[in-house]
Structure 1
Amino acid sequence: MSTKMIHSVHRISLLSLVSLALLACHQLPTATSTAKSQPAAKHYNILYVMSDDHTASAIGAYQSRLAKLDPTPNIDKLATQGTLFKNVFATNSICTPSRASVLTGQYSQTNGVLDLNGTIPTAKQHLARLMGQAGFETAMIGKWHLREEPGAFDYYKVLPEQGLYFDPILRDKNKGSWPNNEVTIKGHSSDVVTDISINWLKNRKSDKPFFLMHHFKAPHDMFEYAPRYEDYLKGVHIPEPSSMYAQPEFGSIATRGEEDSMLWEIGTSISKRNPRRNMGIHMDIDPELSDKAYTHQAYQEYLRRYLRTVKGVDDNMGRLINYLKESGQYDNTIIIYTSDQGMMLGEHDYIDKRWMYDESMRMPFIVRHLGKKDAPKVSDVVANNTDFAPFMLELAGQTAPSFMQGKSFAAVLDNLPLVDWRKGTYYRYWMHRAHHDVPAHFGLRTKRYKLIFFYGINYDINFQQTDKVYYGMDWSRKDGVIPAKTPTPVAWELYDLEKDPDELINRYHHPDYQNIVQELKIELANQRKILNETDENYPHIQRVITEHWHD
């Protein structure tokens, strides 16, 4: 056992001491954080709150164009009392893979969850298991989206699959065996999930600290808000991103086609651009309007509905916080607020997530920990969701096992530098042209630069598009045959985030950036090898990578 671990166990029970000893053989290298960082006292509870598709730009504390609308006063107040992390990113910006990375501390190829069909069985729900071994009472309440039973938790009450916004069905550990343990609760899901968490907190019999993962369904599409928010933002103009209307230097042939020939089919849109699926269709906007009027009205209605569901999340955050205050647990609870990924809110005329562009891959991450008096108000460390499990384990006085690929950044809360921290965060979207017509791609995001490689092939060589009818829209031909999609070109994109934070100009071929491109490619290849994210098992993809690596 290391000197650091011996120093920290004097407040830890015999049970936790045994757990530490067992974990010591799996200790991560010192690159995880500085040796000086002190773990939190074991008696702190941990409340981990994760919403779905709540982009950082829809949180006032992140000071985006939407901040003046004041959509999240409770979350913003949490940020003023803790640390706001500016550069936390998903490694695969879609619901199921992101949740799998949080639970396992691993990237998609390692934990096996590449797309929405992935599962995490009880034996691989490492974060819950290790928190239990550390002496915490564990609970998972709300959106789960990992198919198999959350059996590593002491208690669960979760939405099956995507879950319903109204009168949700939930699977309750106390109501029988999975999956035949369903109950239906009247109300809006954000209110219902919060009621369940508060009731669980009230009725706990254990004197252990709690580790509660409280997961909202909102604000996932289709943005079904509680009726009480019908008048929220009514008649208010929602600020619009300029790139929604024009982005002449953005993207590449992979996202636009040769001479913009594929604009109509790559990436679902706010505007009429994608005729199969755009937000105007979802929002019932008059298709006879001019293109600009159609886009404006679709965006305004989209954002109102989206922000109304966000308002429900924020109000219920207030309810959770008020209960902790009333029960005397507020000062004794570490509160973390995040989302499973970001969301495109009209930037580049895109909707949904999946993209490696910042609005999609950036995760809000706010930590309030009153035991960390030196914690900075803002941190720009580049972290990702594989780091969440090691981070929370360190806050619980534990060391992450070596099979976790993420690293703890808890030293930031002690205002200490991170030692041997990664140069950038790796990203990969494994699906291809599914649901929202986003091409498969991977890349590297550093503090200043972003390099993206669109290789445009599904990992499953036998993949066939099966969602012929999606959200009520039949996009097959009249004879019932799904039309073949245009083969997606291969291309690279590079963005200088210091000069171009909105990612408006692809500088990949600019002569001034060729040395940067080569440096980023070296680091990208290195991380793919270290993280087991290569395409050794997908030779049809590797051939494309090899052919186009030096384009």
Structure 2
Amino acid sequence: FTDNASTFNGDQQTFPKLLQQAGYQTAIIGKWHLISEPQGFDHWSILSGQHEQGDYYDPDFWENGKHIVEKGYATDIITDKAIEFLEGRDKNKPFCMMYHQKAPHRNWMPAPRHLGIFNNTTFPEPANLFDDYEGRGRAAREQDMSIEHTLTNDWDLKLLTREEMLKDTTNRLYSVYKRMPVEVQDKWDSVYARRIAEYRKGDLKGKSLISWKYQQYMRDYLATVLAVDENIGRLLNYLEKIGELDNTIIVYTSDQGFFLGEHGWFDKRFMYEECQRMPLIIRYPKAIKAGSTSNAISMNVDFAPTFLDFAGIEIPSDIQGASLKPILVNEGKTPADWRKAAYYHYYEYPAEHSVKRQYGIRTQDFKLIHFYNDIDEWEMYDMKAAPREMNNVFGKPEYAEKQKELMQLLQDIQKQYKDTDPDEKEKVLFKGDRRLMKNR
């Protein structure tokens, strides 16, 4: 599954199907965003609408083949549904539940109880908020995810009054605003009134305007995250209450990291650290020592074999990842034959945010990226010397040997994952993809 214009083929083998066959009760609740109907789950209740990511307020769900609308805030509702599944399950069977929050996806709409909670907080700016992309190529310059230019006044910054939204009901913000109960709309109007007034004074420009937009973005983003923190705690408390907390492998992760102003951006997609790196925290006191950490390079293809390994199920030979269990149960120690690099490939261009197609590798100390398709540009970073990835050393004589080594490692890894010759393959698709994304 390579991009959001595709539909996931649910007929293929997946780890929930293998767990089902081994007697597990399986469920997925929350964000799915794969278009097709989930397979391999005894129970599923997934967000629909807003391009399948769902709405924050009174969200639509597609539940076991039936469309329903739930009243309330998405983060709370997803947790309610997760607890309902756990309460109603067959207590004599093991279970696997995928609990997927929408938050904090764009456009960062906090729970009613958290609206305005950071209005008086000033967040520190990242050192490269005003990055000028010197030494880098078109990919960094031609993206469409900048805090300065891409954040919209209505959808992202919430700079419309109620009267203005009612006047133009085609506005995207109105479509979600009208889902709120009247009392929540009243609080929303009150909270964002100061922001609207500040903006309309008209004395913000240049770097001052970027800094101001950054603060509004952070206030909404982090207020939206608060409900996730609360609800994860609520779910863990429930497991503790029913005596299953220490008997359950709990995996906390994400689909990507996210730019919070670094390089002047929001969103993700690039192979740079802020979005390539993902949280991965696993709790299972029966086998994993609390507080242990690991520097082993992991990838999302490792999740399935890790789950199967812990469940005592044979790992099929066609799975591309590696089980993390040997590392987790050995206090984070990396096996001698562990992978040397993570592989990354981003396929979705042309599309929203205009991030160029790219592939590359990340070792412990270096990163190599190739931007391709409508451009042909390479970037290489010495992560120890320049962790903010603002000093592209590709082609510099002093890095010639390391560059040669990384180029060979990249080829070897592409062969391993059967992702060879993506340049030629994707050039053929480029024109068709442009049409496809337009239709999408």
Give TM class, smaller chain.
0.7 to 0.9
Counterpart-to-counterpart distance in 2, 1:543 and 1:518: 29
- Please tell me whether residue 388 in structure 1 is matched to residue 303 in structure 2: yes
Q: Please show how residues 302-381 of structure 1 align to structure 2 within 5 Å.
A: 302-374=217-289, 377-381=292-296
Counterpart-to-counterpart distance in 2, 1:162 and 1:398: 32
Cα deviation, residue 134, structure 1: 2.5
Contact between 1:279 and 1:351, CA under 8 Å: does it hold in 2?
Answer: no
- Please tell me whether residue 168 in structure 1 is matched to residue 59 in structure 2: yes
- Please tell me whether residue 492 in structure 1 is matched to residue 369 in structure 2: no
Counterpart-to-counterpart distance in 1, 2:209 and 2:224: 23
- Please tell me whether residue 450 in structure 1 is matched to residue 323 in structure 2: no
Cα deviation, residue 246, structure 1: 3.3
Cα deviation, residue 512, structure 1: 1.4
Could you say if the C-alpha distance between residues 450 and 197 of structure 1 is closer, same or farther in structure 2, counting changes exceeding 3 Å? same
Question: Which segments of 5 or more consecutive residues in structure 2 lack a partner in the other structure?
Answer: 160-198, 431-440
Contact between 1:247 and 1:504, CA under 8 Å: does it hold in 2?
Answer: no
Question: Which segments of 5 or more consecutive residues in structure 1 lack a partner in the other structure?
Answer: 1-112, 257-262, 458-488, 545-551
Cα deviation, residue 266, structure 1: 2.7
- Please tell me whether residue 135 in structure 1 is matched to residue 23 in structure 2: yes
The answer to which of 522-531 and 375-384 deviates more is: 375-384
Q: Residue deviations 1:406-430, cap 9 Å, x none?
A: 1111111122532522110111111
- Please tell me whether residue 528 in structure 1 is matched to residue 414 in structure 2: yes
Q: Please show how residues 138-217 of structure 1 align to structure 2 within 5 Å.
A: 138-160=26-48, 161-173=52-64, 178=65, 181-217=66-102
Partner residue of 2:342?
425
Cα deviation, residue 383, structure 1: 0.7
Counterpart-to-counterpart distance in 2, 1:536 and 1:323: 47
State the secondary structure of the residue aligned to 1:345: coil
Could you say if the C-alpha distance between residues 382 and 248 of structure 1 is closer, same or farther in structure 2, counting changes exceeding 3 Å? same
Q: Please show how residues 279-318 of structure 1 align to structure 2 within 5 Å.
A: 282-283=156-157, 284=159, 285=199, 289-318=204-233
Counterpart-to-counterpart distance in 2, 1:280 and 1:524: 42
* CA RMSD, Structure 1 to Structure 2 (Å): 2.2
State the secondary structure of the residue aligned to 2:367: strand
Cα deviation, residue 358, structure 1: 0.9
Cα deviation, residue 234, structure 1: 2.2
The answer to which of 216-225 and 119-128 deviates more is: 119-128
Q: Residue deviations 1:37-56, cap 9 Å, x none?
A: xxxxxxxxxxxxxxxxxxxx
Which one has more relative contact order, counting CA pairs under 8 Å at least 6 apart?
Answer: 1
Contact between 2:359 and 2:370, CA under 8 Å: does it hold in 1?
Answer: yes
- Please tell me whether residue 509 in structure 1 is matched to residue 392 in structure 2: no
Could you say if the C-alpha distance between residues 408 and 442 of structure 1 is closer, same or farther in structure 2, counting changes exceeding 3 Å? same
Counterpart-to-counterpart distance in 1, 2:260 and 2:368: 22
Counterpart-to-counterpart distance in 2, 1:431 and 1:297: 30
Letter in 1 for 2:255: D
Cα deviation, residue 127, structure 1: 1.0
Q: Residue deviations 1:171-217, cap 9 Å, x none?
A: 111xxxx3xx1111101100000000001111113411111100000
Counterpart-to-counterpart distance in 2, 1:395 and 1:450: 31
Counterpart-to-counterpart distance in 2, 1:302 and 1:393: 39
Could you say if the C-alpha distance between residues 323 and 376 of structure 1 is closer, same or farther in structure 2, counting changes exceeding 3 Å? closer
State the secondary structure of the residue aligned to 2:368: strand
Identify the match of residue 437 of structure 1 among 324, 344, 354: 354
Contact between 2:296 and 2:334, CA under 8 Å: does it hold in 1?
Answer: no
Identify the match of residue 127 of structure 2 among 242, 245, 256: 242
Counterpart-to-counterpart distance in 1, 2:285 and 2:274: 30
Contact between 2:372 and 2:423, CA under 8 Å: does it hold in 1?
Answer: no
Counterpart-to-counterpart distance in 1, 2:314 and 2:37: 26
Contact between 1:279 and 1:302, CA under 8 Å: does it hold in 2?
Answer: no
Contact between 1:194 and 1:320, CA under 8 Å: does it hold in 2?
Answer: yes
Partner residue of 1:119?
7
Q: Residue deviations 1:346-398, cap 9 Å, x none?
A: 11111111100011111111001111254662111111101110111111112
Letter in 1 for 2:145: T
Q: Residue deviations 1:289-324, cap 9 Å, x none?
A: 221111111110101111111111000001101111
Identify the match of residue 414 of structure 1 among 307, 320, 329: 329
Letter in 1 for 2:61: L
Could you say if the C-alpha distance between residues 293 and 390 of structure 1 is closer, same or farther in structure 2, counting changes exceeding 3 Å? same
State the secondary structure of the residue aligned to 2:308: helix
Counterpart-to-counterpart distance in 2, 1:406 and 1:456: 27
Could you say if the C-alpha distance between residues 164 and 388 of structure 1 is closer, same or farther in structure 2, counting changes exceeding 3 Å? same
Letter in 2 for 1:381: A
Partner residue of 1:6?
none
Could you say if the C-alpha distance between residues 252 and 379 of structure 1 is closer, same or farther in structure 2, counting changes exceeding 3 Å? same
Counterpart-to-counterpart distance in 2, 1:151 and 1:373: 31
Partner residue of 1:466?
none
Partner residue of 2:433?
none
The answer to which of 311-320 and 528-537 deviates more is: 528-537
Q: Residue deviations 1:425-469, cap 9 Å, x none?
A: 111111224211211111111111100111143xxxxxxxxxxxx
Partner residue of 1:104?
none
Aligned length: 383
Q: Residue deviations 1:12-59, cap 9 Å, x none?
A: xxxxxxxxxxxxxxxxxxxxxxxxxxxxxxxxxxxxxxxxxxxxxxxx
Contact between 2:283 and 2:290, CA under 8 Å: does it hold in 1?
Answer: no
Counterpart-to-counterpart distance in 2, 1:324 and 1:502: 40
Q: Residue deviations 1:238-272, cap 9 Å, x none?
A: 111110113554x522335xxxxxx4x4342112x
Counterpart-to-counterpart distance in 1, 2:293 and 2:124: 25
State the secondary structure of the residue aligned to 1:379: coil
Partner residue of 2:107?
222
Q: Residue deviations 1:75-100, cap 9 Å, x none?
A: xxxxxxxxxxxxxxxxxxxxxxxxxx
